[in-house]
A = this chain, B = another copy of it.
Amino acid sequence: MTDYNYIDFFGFLAALLTTIAFLPQLYKTWQTKSANDVSLIMLILFLIGLICWIIYGLRINSIPILVANIITFIFNFSILILKIVYSKNNH
């Protein structure tokens, strides 16, 4: 493996892991029907941050930044929706 490929490998692995990491959270929230311990402020700040990453990715024409952040946005937005729904049901 060339040095360039080796560096790229870590970049792709990094983007992949920090994207799919939210899938087990989404699954857990769906299964337990509870996300009380998940911070609402974290989700909101993170989602606004992801929108900024998407704008940045569009501006610098970076497909990896765009793809990774759009998928991460979908996962985290779904967690936020579930949190709100389950929070209402528990009251």
A32 to chain B, nearest CB (A): 7
- Name the prevailing secondary structure of the A interface residues: helix
CB pair A10 B52 closer than 8 Å: yes
Determine whether the beta carbon of B7 is less than 8 Å from that of A21.
Answer: no
> How many residues of chain A are within 8 Å of chain B by beta carbon?
41
With known contacts A10-B52, A37-B35, A55-B10, A45–B60 Cβ distance under 8 A: no
Q: A25-B39, A28-B39 known; A18 and B53 CB under 8 Å?
A: yes
A56-70 CB mask vs B (1 if < 8 Å, else 0) is 100110000000000
Give every chain B residue within 8 A of A74 (Cβ-Cβ): none
Nearest 10 A-B pairs (CB), nearest first? A17-B49, A14-B52, A37-B37, A18-B49, A24-B41, A21-B45, A21-B46, A25-B42, A25-B39, A14-B53
